[in-house]
Amino acid sequence: MTIQALGPSVPFHAPLYASPPCRYTNSELQLVSMVAAPEAVAALVPEPVVPNPDGQLVLMLNRLDADVFGRYHEAALLVPSSFEGVEGNFTAFMYLDEDRPNAAGREIWGWPKKHAMVDIEGDARIDSEVARAGASIIQSRVDLSAELGPAEVALNPTFFNLKLIPSVREGAPPDVMQITATTLQDVVIHRARGGTASVTLRSSKQDPLRRLSPREVQGAVCLQLDLTLGFGEVLHDYLRAG
Q: pLDDT tens digits for 64-117?
A: 999 999 999 999 999 999 999 999 999 999 999 999 999 999 999 999 999 999
Q: Is the pLDDT of residue 4 over 80?
A: no
Domain 17-154+184-228 annotated CATH 2.40.400.10:
yes
Question: Cα–Cα distance between 68 and 79 in angstroms, integer?
Answer: 28
Q: What is the pLDDT of residues 49-63, one digit of tens each?
A: 999 999 999 999 999
CA dihedral (155, 151, 192, 78) in degrees, to 10, reads 20
For residues 134 and 144, which has the higher predicted lDDT (pLDDT)? 144
The residue-averaged pLDDT of 7-25 equals: 90
Q: pTM score, two decimals?
A: 0.96
Q: What is the pLDDT of residue 217?
A: 99
Q: What is the pLDDT of residue 1?
A: 60
Which letter does DSSP use for residue 211 in this model?
Answer: G
Which residue type occupies 9?
A: S
Long-range contacts of 100-105 (CB under 8 A, 24+ apart): 100/16, 100/17, 100/68, 100/69, 100/70, 101/17, 101/64, 101/66, 101/69, 101/72, 101/74, 103/9, 103/16, 103/17, 104/9, 104/16, 104/17, 104/69
Q: What is the pLDDT of residues 210-242, one digit of tens each?
A: 999 999 999 999 999 999 999 999 999 999 986
Q: What is the pLDDT of residue 3?
A: 61
pLDDT band at 15 (very low <50, low <70, confident <90, very high): confident
Peptide bond preceding 48 in cis form (omega within 30 of 0): yes
Question: Cα–Cα distance between 108 and 35 in angstroms, integer?
Answer: 30
Q: What is the pLDDT of residues 141-175, one digit of tens each?
A: 999 999 999 778 888 999 999 999 999 999 999 99
CB neighbour list of residue 79: distance below 8 Å, 6 or more residues apart: 41, 44, 45, 51, 52, 56, 57, 58, 89, 90, 92
Q: What is the pLDDT of residue 204?
A: 94
Q: What is the pLDDT of residue 10?
A: 87
Q: What is the pLDDT of residue 123?
A: 97
